[in-house]
Structure 1
Amino acid sequence: MSQPSTDPVDALAELGRIRLDQTSLDDMLGQVARLANRSIPGAEQVSVTLLRGRVGRTLVFTDEVARDLDEWQYEHGHGPCLDASAAGSPISVPDMGAEQRWPDWAAHARTAGVGSSLSIGLPIQSAVVGALNVYGGPAHAFDRDAIATAEGFARYAAVALANAHLYDSATTLAEHMQEAMRNRAVIEQAKGIIMGERHCTPEEAFGLLSKLSQDTNRKLRDVAAALVANAVETGR
């Protein structure tokens, strides 16, 4: 069994120092995979699976072999990383040569030079789950201590991934809210211009904007922006 190049305690400390406001979700996932690969005894390749429904994707991987073994499972609809993701629990394949649950996948893994694997479920949120997949070269690459290390690391990684996902979602939501506020501002400006020109109520001004949007097959915000821009140009 190969020995880790990084102490698991140091790996977790390094993961804890990552600032979510300065790191993208992809970078966070990459760091999780690299730290797991360096800290879990017996690990030769590592990947991170994200699963929405039964649709899986490998977002990061330390070697093409890991991605290939993941993608075989997505294509065929079964395998340890999918089951671990769905169940949120660890699944060990100690010997690909003796594996009976997924014999076709195990045969594919042996062809790729992988003799054993661990998939540790990562519950991230209700709609998104995942797994930390660890692949070893020989059979029985992961002893009891290695499995415990992988499980402990995965629990920490799951928290980091969940926080990163929430931060990414919150950032996207904030951007959408800012865009909505900008849209509302320009629509209110356009309404004010119409009210001044036609001496109508706010409701009537909005009705005119909506009708123009429908008649020209343009978004309401674009119609309003064009009206405001024309008023600014005319006023110069």
Structure 2
Amino acid sequence: MPLGLEAAVVELGRIVADQPLTAVLRRVADLAVQAVPGADDVSVTLLRGGKPSTVAFHGDLAADLDERQYSLGYGPCVAAAQAGATLRIDDTARDDAFPDFSATAARRGVRSVVSVGLPDPDRRQGSINAYCFGRPEHPSITVEAQLALEQFAAFASVALGNAAALAEVGERADNLQIALQSRAVIEQAKGVLMGRHGVDADEAFTMLATQSQHGNRKLRVVAEEVVAEVVRTAAAAASAPLSPSRGRSPSS
């Protein structure tokens, strides 16, 4: 059952704090279908480095038609994302603005299309794209429905921006943890080489770096192998049976 615009916006405010970015994107697409009369399939397009991609969708047809636009190099969702504007096709069978795309959409049963560019406060360009099949109850996406989609897009942009910011914070924290772990294992490997070869810390690091370059492998991987070798050797020595000489008491 459709939620309506107000309820969908309220739901948008609830989904950011406890869900990953991918889940937020999917929920935005689902809510748009429920908030906008006539929106049968919906997709979310984001531009990354100027290249468009569909990051979420409700209905496979929306994703397929997005990909058609990307392959052509133009279309309403791409143009809306680039311009931050709203583009609509009232009748795909009679559209002259995007004839190749509209012909494909018409063959797939899509009657009208509206793409709304996302507001861009964080320099994230994108669009929400609504596809209407032209059902009797909703023959097209009306001007009123377009206004609802534009209002929804404004709130969705905030939700997506917040979710993306949280995801970036989490990614930075993960990267920091990986960096700290890498540094720790490199220091351990340097200690192993210093003890094994009687070299100082700088020479031990040079040995690791040289092995990394010659093997075309990350320094962390080489360091892990050095440490793992020591662990295996120690474990093997600990589990080896005692020889008779080792097991004989001093008095015997």
TM-score band by shorter chain is 0.7 to 0.9
Matched, 1:203 2:202: yes
Shift of the 124–44 alpha-carbon distance from structure 1 to 2, 3 Å rule, reads farther
The alpha-carbon deviation at position 61 of structure 1 amounts to 2.2
| CA displacement 1:29-83 (0-9 Å, x = unmatched) | 1111111001112222211122224532223222232222212111111110000
Native 8 Å contact 2:89 2:113 kept in 1: yes
Q: Distance in 1 between matches of 2:224 and 2:25?
A: 40
User: 1:109 and 1:217 mapped to 2: Cα distance?
Assistant: 49
- 2:93 equivalent to 1:94: no
- Corresponding residue for residue 62 of structure 1: 58
Given candidates 10, 20, 23, the residue that maps to 1:24 is: 20
**Is the 2:90–2:113 Cα contact (8 Å) retained in structure 1?**
yes
| TM score, norm. by length of structure 1 | 0.86
Following the alignment from structure 2 to structure 1, what is the Cα–Cα distance between the partners of residues 213 and 61? 53
- What's the counterpart of residue 148 of structure 1? 147
Q: How does 1:172-187 map to 2 (within 5 A)?
A: 172-187=171-186
Q: What is the aligned-residue RMSD (CA, Å)?
A: 2.4
Identity %: 41
| Alpha-carbon distance in structure 1 between the residues aligned to 2:210 and 2:100 | 61
Map 1:1-236; keep pairs closer than 5 Å: 5-20=2-17, 22-122=18-118, 123=120, 125-126=122-123, 128-138=124-134, 141-235=140-234, 236=238
Q: CA deviation at 1:168?
A: 2.4
Secondary structure of the structure 2 residue equivalent to 1:167? helix
Runs (5+) with no aligned partner, structure 1: none
Q: Distance in 1 between matches of 2:218 and 2:41?
A: 49
CA contact (8 A) 1:84 1:131 kept: yes
1:215 and 1:95 map into 2 onto residues whose CA distance is 62
Deviation at 1:209, TM superposition (A): 2.2
| More displaced stretch, 46-55 vs 185-194 | 46-55
Alpha carbons 1:96, 1:115 under 8 Å: kept: yes
**Cα distance between partner residues in 2 of 1:212 and 1:194:** 12
Is this contact kept in 2: 1:124–1:130, CA < 8 A?
Answer: no
Q: TM-score, normalised by structure 2?
A: 0.81
Q: Per-residue CA shift, 1:149-206, capped at 9, x if unaligned?
A: 1111001111212222232233223222211111110111122233344444321221
Does the Cα contact within 8 Å between 2:16 and 2:163 map onto a contact in 1? Answer: no
The runs of 5 or more residues in structure 2 that have no matched partner are 239-252
Q: Distance in 2 between matches of 1:217 and 1:137?
A: 54
Distance 2:229 2:142 in 1: 73
Q: Relative to structure 1, is the Cα distance of residues 223 and 90 closer, same or farther in structure 2, using a 3 angstrom cutoff?
A: same
Tell me the SS of whatever aligns to 1:46: strand
Distance 1:226 1:109, change over 3 A: closer
**Which residue number corresponds to residue 248 of structure 2?**
none
